[in-house]
Amino acid sequence: MKQLFNLHTHTSRCGHASGSDEEYVLAAIKAGYKVLGFSDHCPYMEYPNKRVHMDWDELEDYISSINALKEKYKDQIEIHVGLESEYFPQFHEEKEYLRSKVEYMIFGQHFLLPECKHSYFGNVSDAEINAYVDQVLTGLDSGLFTYLCHPDVFMNSQTVFTEACYNAAHKIAQKAVETDTPVEINIRGAQKGKKEFRDGSFQFWYPNKQFWKIMAEYPIKCVVGVDAHAPEDLLDKEALEAAYEELSDLNLNYVKVIV
Task: For residue 125, give the 3-state DSSP assignment.
Answer: coil
Give the DSSP H/E element, type plus range, for residue 221.
Answer: strand 221-225
Four-way CATH pick for 5-254: 3.40.640.10, 3.20.20.140, 3.30.70.1290, 3.20.20.60: 3.20.20.140
pLDDT in tens, 3-47: 689 999 999 999 999 999 999 999 999 999 999 999 999 999 888
Q: Which residue has the higher pLDDT, 153 or 65?
A: 65
Q: What is the pLDDT of residue 49?
A: 72
Q: What is the pLDDT of residue 120?
A: 57
List CB contacts of 47: < 8 A, sequence separation 6 or more. 114, 115
CB-hemisphere CA count at 13 Å for 211?
28
Q: What is the pLDDT of residue 136?
A: 96
Residue of 7, 132, 140, 134 whose CA lies nearest to 77: 7
pLDDT in tens, 94-150: 999 999 999 999 999 988 777 776 555 555 788 889 999 999 999 999 999 999 999
CB-hemisphere CA count at 13 Å for 228?
29
Sheet holding 35-41, edge to edge: 5-6, 35-41, 78-85, 104-107, 147-148, 183-186, 221-225, 253-254
pLDDT in tens, 234-259: 999 999 999 999 999 999 999 988 88
Q: What amino acid is encoded at 199 in this protein?
A: D
pLDDT in tens, 35-62: 999 999 999 988 877 788 899 999 999 9
CA–CA dist 53, 59 (Å, integer)? 11
Integer angstrom CA distances of residue 92 from 1, 79, 85, 146, 175 = 36, 27, 11, 16, 19
Q: What is the pLDDT of residue 55?
A: 93
Phi, psi (rounded to 5 degrees) for 258: -95, 130
Q: What is the pLDDT of residue 118?
A: 56
CB atoms within 10 A of CB 23: 16
Q: Is there a contact between 203 and 243 (Cβ–Cβ < 8 Å)?
A: no
Is the pLDDT confidence value at 1 over 50?
Answer: no
Helix, strand, coil tally for the chain in percent (to 5): 40, 15, 45
Give the domain ranges of the chain.
5-254
